[in-house]
Structure 1
Amino acid sequence: EYDGERYFLDYDRPRSIGKVKDFYGVIPAIVRAYAWIMSLGEEGLRTVAETAVLNNNYLLHKLRKVRGMSAPFASGKRRLEQVRYSFEELSRDTGVHTTDIQRRVADFGGHYWLSHEPWYVPEPVTLEPTESYSKRELDEYAEIIRRIADEAYADPERVRTAPHASTVGRVVDHSYFEDPGKWALTWRGYKRKYAGYFEPH
């Protein structure tokens, strides 16, 4: 609010969600979200929400037919905007893990969302098809997942050694993710920690 002299926050909003976090949250994210909501308006916001739910349930219907894939918490139910799937059966049958599938999806130019750590669902993939995806794109993505699952049963090594056609290779040394002594959370911290490390000797 603006009273003519200064800006301030008006907390007397009974129909709002209230404060974001203890302070004000991540201000740039709040501004972007607010701008997006205001640009859509009430009807537009309702439309994108309905489309996101429709897209998610359409993809769920397609992926339930993929061999070795399940949706443990969506059994017989429609979901809202996302579903956590599991490749536990495929992994048990073929030895191919969800991380292998992730790298194989990159060969098709797609992105594959695993899950937050720790994994409560074994061999997880969390797909969240928002309102921006068309039916054609959802069909294409479902076909990529189906094809990779079929490959895993027919030729597991092809999936395990992926990627084959991507500019991104395999990350072999995972110690950088597990050892806080190797972390560098900012560019300045990275330069300080690894100064001269990559310099020719």
Structure 2
Amino acid sequence: HLDYDRPDSIGKVREFFGNIPIVLRAYAWIMSMGAEGLLKAAQISVINNNYLAKLLLTIPGISKPYAEGKIRLDQIRYSLEKLQEDTGCGTEDVRRRMVDFGLQGYFTSHHPWILPEPFTPEPCETYSKEDCEYWAAVLRQISKEAYSNPEIVKMAPHNSTIHKLNTAPLDDPKKWAMTWRAYLKKKSEV
């Protein structure tokens, strides 16, 4: 790994320090918050999560398949299955459309999906009430667009430098390789 005489290489990509920098940042955050601050952050996160849930569940096409009627302490995995069935616009389309409203795309789920058309918003302690309301308003607008003119949502994003990524290989077990060695083995079998 110390052989730098590689003319076809792109060079060193990054340093590797493992998880130590993350652990140090987490420790610094915990110490700066203190016990009262951590409790307050946890309480605000729970309130934000449940407030956003109340807002999102009034939007056509969005459902909460698990623990219906229960208050959640952590993130909720929602489904856009109904929206996809009614309009043809799935979670990837909605996520790309959110970028046009200045929001970062949400986490869908781990691959392969167990829940159809999943999305998992993460309204943490730094979200204000207005942030949660804006997030829900954007999803409401996208839902309206999907039901009235689905092509607007399917062709999104319209105001971004990067457009659609091909995520089909993520759902193909023949392409999965958890290590470089497994990738090379699969590649040689082709």
Superposed pair shares fold, TM > 0.5: yes
Which of 100, 110, 116 is 1:116 aligned to? 110
Which entry has the higher C-alpha Rg, 1 or 2? 1
Question: Is 1:91 matched up with 2:84?
Answer: yes
Where in structure 1 are there 5+ consecutive unaligned residues? 1-24, 185-201
Please list, as runs of the form range in 1=range in 2, the aligned pairs for 1:1-201 lying within 5 A after superposition: 26-111=19-104, 112-172=106-166, 179=175
Q: Which runs of 4+ in 1 moved over 3 A?
A: 172-181
The aligned residue for residue 8 of structure 1 is: none
Give the corresponding residue for 2:14.
none
CA deviation vs aligned residue, 1:71-122 (integer Å, no higher than 9, x gap) = 1113101111210000001101111111011110111111222111121111
Q: Distance in 1 between matches of 2:21 and 2:156?
A: 37
> Which secondary structure state, in structure 2, belongs to the residue aligned with residue 118 of structure 1?
coil
**CA shift in 2, pair 1:164/1:53, >3 Å:** same
For residue 107 of structure 1, what is the amino acid of its counterpart? D
Q: Which runs of 5+ in 2 are unaligned?
A: 1-17, 181-190
Aligned partners of 1:91, 1:173: CA distance in 2, in Å? Answer: 17
The alignment's TM-score, normalised by the length of structure 2, stands at 0.77
Offset, 1:175? 5.2
Letter in 2 for 1:144: V
TM-score with structure 1 setting the length: 0.73
